[in-house]
C-alpha cells in the first residue's frame, strides 16, 4: 500500500470499514506511517488516539503486529512546546484514561505520524496527526468467551471536546461529525465509518434523529 501526503484532502469521502470483534468492541482499519496496518477501537468515551508500540513493556495480546515507529519514515516525536504535550513529573506521559476494562490505564509517549484512511476515492493520507505510543498498556481487548484472537491494537478517541480528539485534529475532513451503523458481531460484512457532511444519515420519513450532546468528561449523552 502506498500513500502520498502531498495530495489535497477531500472531505466527505471517508469509507473506513467498521467491524464487530468477538469481544464486543467495534474497530476500524487505518494505516499508520510508511505504512503499517492498524485496527483502531472506536472509542467514544475518550479523546485520545493511541497505538500499542512494538517496544511496549506491558502489552496486551493482538493478532496483528504492533506499531514499529523505527520502521516509519514519517514518525516524529512531539516537542515539549507543543500545546498538546503535557510533561509528566516522572516517568511516562499518560495517554489514555478510557474506561475499557478493570485496568483502563495506558501510558507512553506523544508523537506525530501520518494516518491513512480508506475512502471512496482510494486513500486519504493525513500527515502529522498527534497520537500516543502506548508502552505500558494495562488494557484488555482480548476475547474471554469465544477463544478468538484479538484484532485490535489501537484506540481512536472520538469522545468529548478536548483538543486531542481526533475529530478536532482532522477537522478539515471531519467537521467534528461522524456516524456508523452497528455491524453484525459474528459476520464478516462490515459497516462504514463516515466523517464530515457525509455523516448525515438520510432515509426520508423513516429516519428519526435524537440530539447527542458532549460532556466535559469526554462522554456523549442523549437529551
For residue 102, what pLDDT band results from cuts at 50, 70 and 90? very low
Q: Is the pTM of this model over 0.85?
A: no
The residue with greater pLDDT, 192 or 100, is 192
Cβ within 8 Å of residue 11, ≥6 positions away: 172, 173, 175, 195, 196, 197, 198
Question: For 176-212, how does the pLDDT look when each residue is reduced to its tens digit (9 = 90+)?
Answer: 888 888 888 777 788 999 888 888 877 667 777 777 7
From the list 120, 217, 111, 123, the residue with the least C-alpha distance to 169 is: 111
- Is the pLDDT assigned to residue 21 strictly greater than 90? no
For residue 103, what pLDDT band results from cuts at 50, 70 and 90? very low
* 82, three cell numbers: 507543543
3-state secondary structure of 115: strand
* Average pLDDT, rounded, for the chain: 78
DSSP string of 64-113, one letter each residue: SPPB-GGG-TT-EEPPTTSTT----SSSPEEEE----SS---EEEEEEEE
3-state secondary structure of 137: strand
- Is the pLDDT assigned to residue 31 strictly greater than 90? yes
Question: For 38-81, how does the pLDDT look when each residue is reduced to its tens digit (9 = 90+)?
Answer: 999 998 888 888 899 999 999 988 999 999 988 999 988 877 77
List the domains of the chain with CATH numbers: 16-222 (2.40.70.10)
Of the given ranges (67-71, 96-100, 155-159), which has the lowest mean pLDDT?
96-100
For residue 98, what pLDDT band results from cuts at 50, 70 and 90? very low
From the list 8, 190, 17, 5, the residue with the least C-alpha distance to 118 is: 17
Cβ within 8 Å of residue 85, ≥6 positions away: 78, 79, 93, 110
Task: Please give the pLDDT value at position 115.
Answer: 92
173: alpha, beta or left, given left = phi > 0 and alpha = psi -120 to 50? Answer: alpha
On the 0-12 / 13-18 / 19+ scale of CB atoms within 10 A, 5 is middle
Amino acid at each position: 500500500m502506498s500513500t502520498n501526503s502531498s495530495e489535497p484532502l477531500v472531505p466527505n469521502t471517508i469509507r473506513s470499514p467498521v467491524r464487530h470483534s468477538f469481544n464486543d468492541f467495534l474497530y476500524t482499519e487505518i494505516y499508520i506511517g510508511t505504512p503499517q496496518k492498524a485496527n483502531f477501537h472506536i472509542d467514544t468515551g475518550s479523546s485520545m488516539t493511541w497505538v500499542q508500540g512494538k517496544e511496549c513493556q506491558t502489552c496486551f495480546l493482538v493478532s496483528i503486529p504492533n506499531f514499529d515507529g523505527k520502521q516509519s519514515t514519517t514518525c516524529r516525536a512531539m516537542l515539549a512546546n507543543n500545546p498538546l504535550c503535557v510533561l509528566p513529573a516522572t516517568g511516562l506521559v499518560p495517554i489514555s484514561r478510557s474506561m475499557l476494562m478493570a485496568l483502563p490505564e495506558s501510558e507512553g509517549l506523544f508523537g506525530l505520524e501520518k494516518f491513512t484512511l480508506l475512502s471512496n476515492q482510494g486513500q486519504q493520507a493525513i500527515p502529522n496527526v498527534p497520537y500516543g505510543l502506548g508502552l505500558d498498556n494495562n488494557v484488555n481487548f482480548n476475547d474471554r468467551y469465544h477463544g478468538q484472537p484479538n484484532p485490535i491494537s489501537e484506540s481512536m478517541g472520538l469522545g468529548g471536546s478536548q483538543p486531542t480528539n481526533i475529530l478536532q485534529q482532522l477537522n478539515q475532513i471531519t467537521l467534528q461529525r461522524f456516524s456508523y451503523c452497528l455491524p453484525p458481531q459474528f459476520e464478516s460484512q462490515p459497516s462504514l465509518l463516515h466523517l464530515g457532511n457525509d455523516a448525515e444519515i438520510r432515509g426520508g420519513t423513516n429516519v428519526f434523529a435524537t440530539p447527542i450532546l458532549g460532556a466535559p468528561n469526554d462522554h456523549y449523552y442523549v437529551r
